[in-house]
Amino acid sequence: MNDSQFHQIVDDLLMAIEEVLDDAMVDFDYETSAGVLKLVFSDKSQIIINRQEPLHQIWVATKFDGHHFELTDGKWIDNRMGAELMHLISDSIKRQSGVAIDLNGIA
């Protein structure tokens, strides 16, 4: 995958996450700027999802830990723990806000 393809894949992914959050009418703030999606919860904790172009990875920082995801067989997989990206983000949102959001349908 070249850099242009990587950027398009990640842009599409971040947009899909925002669409799910929009549809769910969540009560926390979120915004995308310069390829970084930031979710901010009522306790001021955050989840930050951003691209790492040189590595073609997506990095996720939560209140509890950080993760690096690589595209493997069409899925974004944590290169340390083996977790799938959308599952981890859904779980992290639930842990940090108490809001259940199902992102598992996003590829």
Q: What is the pLDDT of residues 16-73, one digit of tens each?
A: 999 999 888 888 899 999 889 999 998 999 999 999 999 999 999 999 999 999 999 9
Cβ atoms of 8 and 16 closer than 8 Å? no
- Where b means 16+ CB within 10 Å and e means fewer, 40-74 reads bbeeebbbebbbeeeebbbebebeeeebbbebeee
Q: Could you give all domains of the chain from N- to C-terminal order, each with its CATH number?
A: 3-97 (3.30.920.10)
The string of pLDDT tens digits covering residues 88-102 is 999 999 999 998 998
pTM of whole model > 0.85? yes
Count the neighbouring beta carbons within 10 Å of the beta carbon of residue 18.
15
